[in-house]
């Protein structure tokens, strides 16, 4: 599969992608691996994620999967630490993970709303907090926060 332009500045960089096991996240993982980046990703979906890792490693890609529930901030931080241990400091963060569940505003409870915030927003902040020291030591980095208003 062709991925278009090659960006030499991405070669060897450590990239962290949340929600990288399927959908848009999977495409992001594939594209960074094609650039020669070292890609660690976190996802709940073990089967799909392991299949992706196997496919990319066959092509000599540097990829590492950590299974974690991103609403569990302690588990997420452990997963990030494991990716850092595998590939070194994270200088590119793609906050992609989310859960777009449609609902009626009139039926939304405070508990449901808090759950949606945890799934779609809270982990993004704490992922940034976790990689910020790496980026500061490196003299910079890139953070991309992806979102959709439809979950709200």
Q: How many domains does the chain have?
A: 1
Assess if residue 3 is contained within a domain: no
Q: How does strand 14-18 pair with strand 92-95? A: parallel
Q: Has residue 2 been placed in a domain?
A: no
Q: Backbone phi, then psi, for 116, in 5-degree steps? A: -65, -40
CATH number at residue 123: 3.40.50.720
1 within some domain? no
Domain around 37 = 9-151
Domain-embedded: residue 4: no
Q: Model pTM?
A: 0.92
- Cα–Cα distances in Å, from 35 out to 17, 66, 126? 15, 21, 27
pLDDT, tens only, 99-142: 877 778 899 899 998 988 888 899 999 999 999 999 999 999 99
Per-position pLDDT tens, the chain of length 152 = 566 788 999 999 999 999 999 999 999 999 999 999 999 999 999 999 999 999 999 999 999 999 999 999 999 999 999 999 999 999 999 999 988 777 788 998 999 989 888 888 999 999 999 999 999 999 999 999 998 766 65
């Amino acid at each position: 599969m062709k991925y278009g332009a090659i960006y030499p500045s991405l070669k060897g960089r450590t990239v962290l992608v949340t929600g990288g096991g399927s959908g848009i996240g999977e495409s992001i993982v594939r594209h960074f691996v094609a650039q020669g980046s070292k890609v660690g990703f976190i996802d709940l979906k073990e089967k799909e994620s392991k299949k992706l890792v196997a496919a990319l490693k066959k092509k000599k890609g540097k990829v590492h999967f950590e299974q974690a529930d991103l609403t569990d901030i302690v588990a997420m931080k452990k997963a990030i630490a494991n990716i850092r241990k595998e590939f070194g400091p994270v200088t590119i963060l793609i906050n992609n993970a989310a859960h777009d569940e449609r609902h009626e505003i009139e039926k939304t409870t405070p508990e449901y709303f808090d759950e949606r915030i945890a799934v779609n927003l809270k982990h993004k902040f704490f992922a940034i907090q976790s990689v910020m020291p790496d980026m500061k030591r490196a003299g910079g980095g890139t953070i991309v926060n992806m979102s959709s208003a439809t979950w709200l």
